[in-house]
Amino acid sequence: MPETPFGSPARRSEIIELAALEGHDADVPSNVGFIEEHEKAHHRKHLPEAANSTDVDLEKDLEKNGDTASLSSEDDVAGEAAAEAEDPNVVWWDGPTDPENPLNWSFFKKWGTVGIVSALTFLTPLASSAFAPGVPEVMAEFHSTSQLLESFMVSVYVLGFAFGPLIFAPLSEMYGRLPIYHICNILFIIFTVAAAVSTNMSMFVVFRFFMGSAGGAPLALGGGTIADLISREQRGTAMAIWLLGPTMGPCIGPIIGGFLTQAKGWRWNFWLIAILTGGFACISFVLMRETSAPVILARKAKRLRKETGNPNLRSKLESKLSGKELFWLSIIRPTKMLTRSWICFLISLYVAITYAYLYILFTTFTSVFEQQYGFSGSVVGLSFLGLGIGSLSGQFVFTWAGNKTATKHIKAGDFKAEHRLEIMLPGGFFIPIGLFWYGWSVQAGVHWIVPILGTFFVGFGLLLTFMPANTYLVEVFTVHAASAMAANTVLRSIAASLLPLSSQQMYKALGYGWGNSLLGFVSLALIPIPFIFRKYGERIRKSSKAIA
């Protein structure tokens, strides 16, 4: 079997786990190796041939947790690894304490990098909603009365999240994570400043989209950076810190934005983001180093070829995929998994609609609490607190209950992918409860704390839907988990950017009570999905095929 950076054998599950964290499928090398497929043992030289092979040769039972004949068995991998170990041309770490290995970096160097990446991962989701309280000012300044644009200027940012990572992921495999961080930080700052100085609505919306595209880099690469640096035993703590960004950023943003808009105007929301990101970008230029093991070893092999004159030296983690193939698979695989796997499509649909509800609330909170409750421009940001506290609570409950459930079944020896859905079963009920509560309390005009308490349940249910769905996709698709999660990300980002466009018209036609009830009824209709997969998921996986 492949060896870990410390020389002990890498289990297949560890390779898959690392690949999922790094945002690529397990047939692309991570720092403990990769799982090779027999169909791809030969190296395809031309993209059209790769496309044909993807269409014909790579059909396999992806939903059977990767247990198919097309995947290399552990014995095969062990034999290949043993052959490589005897090959003097294979370049690997210089022992278990090699200082080039990011896992051997000093405590401060490792956790300093985690801190920088976590800060960037907090700032980019925060920017998605920070200026939401300033939307009325933007509309007035650009002389627009379009309700569609009023919603789209907020949600278009999330549309960028759908497309940016599809490009960044394969580029990071070819050139390393560090250049992508630096380039995307610079682009994010440029587009943020451009949004701040926009002179018309078209400019503003376009730059918001590009902000989201560049801002997706820390979200796409952060998990991989943590996996590069932190041992498996300590990784949970680092991941918990990193996940606070996408969990809390969108909810804290409007609180800051409300007071900043009132004091300095809407443009200062963007200036603040640009200043903070610029500070952390400068820190990253000085302190961050490349962490991707395949890239570090590839550079080491290149250096040794030059020093020794031996052209046959190669990295042990050298990928058999060309750059064109990486791009092809990163775009085509998720699309095929969405269209040819019922599990991937229905779970992603559930998450997409739920996630869209979050941005429907983001784009309408300002008008609701200003018009219905007379909140000032500064205080209106506090109306997002219910969502934020609910999301944070859901994060803690998922971590505790999910780990407890998995540990129990693993000890009993009967664990299967569907056990990841157990926390999702009750979690789905909180979203319609919260929507009914919020909508009818606003409609009735009761005290403002009542609808905010309702949004707590929406945020709580969102996390208990979103997190189990992702872990379930990893368990089901194993080797190709990253493609399944990419499919999930694309669908939910598109839904979150487009569905809110009709929210104002919906509330105008139905009122806040029936409008949110409509959303609640749709959410109720989706609740059976995890119940069906919890009971029949294993049978579905064994009888269906998806295309990689």
Instruction: Please provide the DSSP assignment of 90-148 as one string.
Output: EE--SSTT-TTSGGGS-HHHHHHHHHHHHHHHHHHHHHHHTTGGGHHHHHHHTT---HH
DSSP helix/strand/coil, 192: helix
What mean pLDDT is predicted for residues 355-375? 90
Q: Which CATH number, 1.10.1370.30, 1.10.10.10, 2.60.40.1930, 1.20.1250.20, labels domain 107-320?
A: 1.20.1250.20
- Helix (H) or strand (E) segment spanning residue 319: none
Question: Residue 200: what pLDDT?
Answer: 93
Residue 242 near residue 229 (C-beta atoms within 8 A): no
Domains 107-320 and 332-548 share a fold: yes
Position 78 pLDDT exceeds 80 = no
Position 473 pLDDT exceeds 90 = no
Question: Residue 470: what pLDDT?
Answer: 85
- DSSP letter at 33 equals B
Question: Residue 5: what pLDDT?
Answer: 55
**How many CB atoms are located within 10 Å of the residue 265 CB?**
14
Residue 377 near residue 447 (C-beta atoms within 8 A): no
CA distance 546 to 230: 33
Domain borders along the chain are 107-320, 332-548
Burial level of 292, CB count in 10 A (0-12/13-18/19+)?
buried
The label of the residue with tokens 């997002």 reads 384
Position 49 pLDDT exceeds 60 = no
Task: Write the CA distances from 289 to 232, 294, 461, 514, integer angstroms.
Answer: 21, 14, 38, 53
Residue 70 near residue 60 (C-beta atoms within 8 A): yes
Q: Which one, of 185, 191, 186, 187, lies nearest residue 203 by Cα?
A: 191
Question: What's the pLDDT tens digit per position in 396-445?
Answer: 898 888 888 888 888 888 888 888 899 999 989 999 999 999 999 999 99
Question: Residue 403: what pLDDT?
Answer: 81
Residue 487 near residue 337 (C-beta atoms within 8 A): yes
Work out the mean pLDDT of the chain and round it to a whole number.
83
Q: What are phi and psi of 327, to 5 degrees?
A: -65, -45
DSSP helix/strand/coil, 30: strand
CA distance 526 to 435: 14
Question: What's the pLDDT tens digit per position in 158-192?
Answer: 999 888 888 887 888 888 899 999 999 999 999 99
Question: Residue 529: what pLDDT?
Answer: 93
Q: Which one, of 30, 1, 2, 37, lies nearest residue 16 by Cα?
A: 30
Position 261 pLDDT exceeds 70 = yes
Q: Are strands 546-547 and 59-60 parallel, antiparallel or unpaired?
A: antiparallel
Q: What are phi and psi of 71, to 5 degrees?
A: -90, 145
- DSSP letter at 45 equals -
Residue 122 near residue 251 (C-beta atoms within 8 A): no
Q: Does domain 332-548 have CATH number 1.20.1250.20?
A: yes
Structure tokens at 400: 């505790």
